[in-house]
Amino acid sequence: MLIRSELDLEYIDGQIREVSVIVAVKNEEDYIHKCLDSLITQSFPQEKYEIIIIDGMSNDKTREIEAEYKTKFPNLVRLFDNPEGLTSSGLNIGIKNAEGKIVVIFSGHAYAHTLFLSQLIEALNNARSDVAGVGSNHLPAEDEGPLGKAIAYVQNSILGGWGTSYRRRNSRYVNSIAFCAYRKEILEDIKLFDKRFGALDLELNWRIKKAGFKLMIRNDVAVYYYRRYNTFKKFAKKMITYCIWRAMVTKKHPDSFSILICLPVILILSTTSLPLVIYYHSQLADVILLGLGVYLFAIMMSSLYISFKVKSIKYSMVAALIFVLEHFGYGFGFIIGLFRRLPRC
Q: Give tens-digit pLDDT for 294-317.
A: 999 999 999 999 998 878 888 889
Instruction: State how far the Cα of 341 lies from the Cα of 93, in Å rounded to an integer.
Output: 26
Confidence (pLDDT) at 139: 87
Q: Spell out the domain ranges in the chain.
A: 12-230, 252-338
pLDDT surpasses 80 at 76: yes
45-68 tens-digit pLDDT: 999 999 999 999 999 999 999 999
Using one digit for the tens of pLDDT, what is the confidence trace for 2-11? Answer: 333 333 434 4
Q: Which fold would CATH assign to domain 12-230?
A: Spore Coat Polysaccharide Biosynthesis Protein SpsA; Chain A (3.90.550)
Q: What is the pLDDT of residues 133-156, one digit of tens each?
A: 999 988 888 888 888 888 988 988
296-330: burial string, b at 16+ Cβ within 10 Å, e else: eeebeebbebbbeeeeeeebbebbbbbbebbbbbb
Nearest of 340, 344, 139, 330 to residue 242 by alpha carbon? 330
* Cα(122)–Cα(32) distance, integer angstroms: 26
**pLDDT of residue 281 exceeding 70:** yes
Please tell me the distance from the alpha carbon of residue 256 to that of residue 67, in angstroms, as a whole number: 41
pLDDT of the residue at 70: 96
pLDDT tens, residue by residue, 157-185 = 888 877 655 454 555 888 888 899 999 99
Q: Are 138 and 217 in contact (CB under 8 A)?
A: no
Distances (CA, A) of 178 to 200, 202, 204, 246, 308: 10, 9, 11, 16, 28
